[in-house]
A and B are shown apart, each in its own frame.
Chain A
Amino acid sequence: MKVVVDRRRCMGMGACESLAPEHFEVHDDGQVMLLRESVADESRMDVEAAVEGCPTEALRLEERVVR
């Protein structure tokens, strides 16, 4: 599973960093940086909370396609 950021919506509020700091960090340019490529099962709940918690709904989860 991976996180996709809609850069037009991301305003660097930081709710995601607060809920899943291993996956998200806001930089001083005001945009979020994804710290990990994919979401491990054990982090799923935190990352889902971060996606839900984004005030501008800039995040969504996508299942990785395994070829």
Chain B
Amino acid sequence: MKWIREQPNRRFGLLDALGVTGWVGLLVARFVPIARLPFWGCVLRQRTGWPCLGCGLTRVADHVSHFHFAAAWEANPFGTVAAIGFALLAIYTVLHLGFRITAPRVELGDREAWALRVVVVLAVTSNYAYLVIKAKFPQLLG
């Protein structure tokens, strides 16, 4: 793994794009009552009782935008990590484009990149397993 220090710049990159996404997502969650929209809701959970892969993400966005991190974690742990990541990137985007503050660029080797992909897949799978247990077998969680 290589950490490469970037020169101060305002070059628009991936982190800025994700930061913009974070701004839009969290502002919408903060001021628009998404969960009350007429077509919103998990049809899969309503019909079968089984949560979908993204179960709780709306609540996560709502809670994180209101700084209720414990409630967000309860709704969807991996989603909370992602939402906080987007929030941090939103702050980074302001610092980068406004004040030319840059983050170091990380270059992974092939094996490291492969390991990171495996970690992400395992995290998503574990998160979904937790959501299923919480919805269908809550007695296992005590």
| Pairing of A with B | no
- B: residues with CB less than 8 A from A are none
